[in-house]
Amino acid sequence: MNNKFFSLTFLVFMVFLSLTVSISAKPQQVESVEYRILEEENHASLIDTGPSILVFTDHHEYEVFYKTIHIDREPVPVPPEADFTGNIVIFLTYGEKRTSGFSIEIRKLYTRGNALVIRAVLRSPPDDSFLSQVITQPYLILQAAWEGYIRVELIDETGDLLDHANF
């Protein structure tokens, strides 16, 4: 009888343990985040080997940075309008390139835990294209809904972390 009781108790314990482990092992919820591209250009007056991101949470910081990356233009252009009510602005670059023809493609923005994740790829020019030999720095400025996250991550297609910003 002790053996049957022990076996039954052990079986109930194992079932309970497996249910507990399976419930706690659920993957984190991933939710898409709305965004809009404010600007997409090929040159910034900024030395950056990239890939990198910068996050702006207020209009003043954004305006100062925008003027900095356009310091070589006369007159310095006005920054694209950004709404900081419930949003953040993100500058994303893959650094300097030796030719024209590169661009950045956003694949998806989503939340993972307390982080906003940007999945992006650098698009290279086609192999058979005629390219000007000029230093470029493709970049994007985008506005994304801010939902209380404290970190922004830039990842590539395979999920490798390229850069991050804590704020």
pLDDT digits (tens, 9 = 90+) for 84-96: 999 999 999 887 7
Cis bond before residue 27 (omega within 30° of 0): no
Residue 2 has pLDDT above 70, yes or no: no
Give 71 or 92, the one with higher predicted confidence: 92
Q: What is the mean pLDDT of residues 72-93?
A: 93
Left, alpha or beta for 50 (phi > 0: left; psi -120 to 50: alpha)?
A: left
Lowest mean pLDDT among 2-11, 26-35, 101-110: 2-11
What are the distances in angstroms from CA 153 to CA 34, 69, 149, 150? 16, 22, 11, 10
What is the spatial distance between Cα 60 and Cα 166, in angstroms, rounded to a whole number? 19
Give 107 or 1, the one with higher predicted confidence: 107
Tell me what percent of the residues of the chain surpass a pLDDT of 90. 48
Query: What's residue 46's pLDDT?
Result: 73
What is the spatial distance between Cα 74 and Cα 112, in angstroms, rounded to a whole number? 41
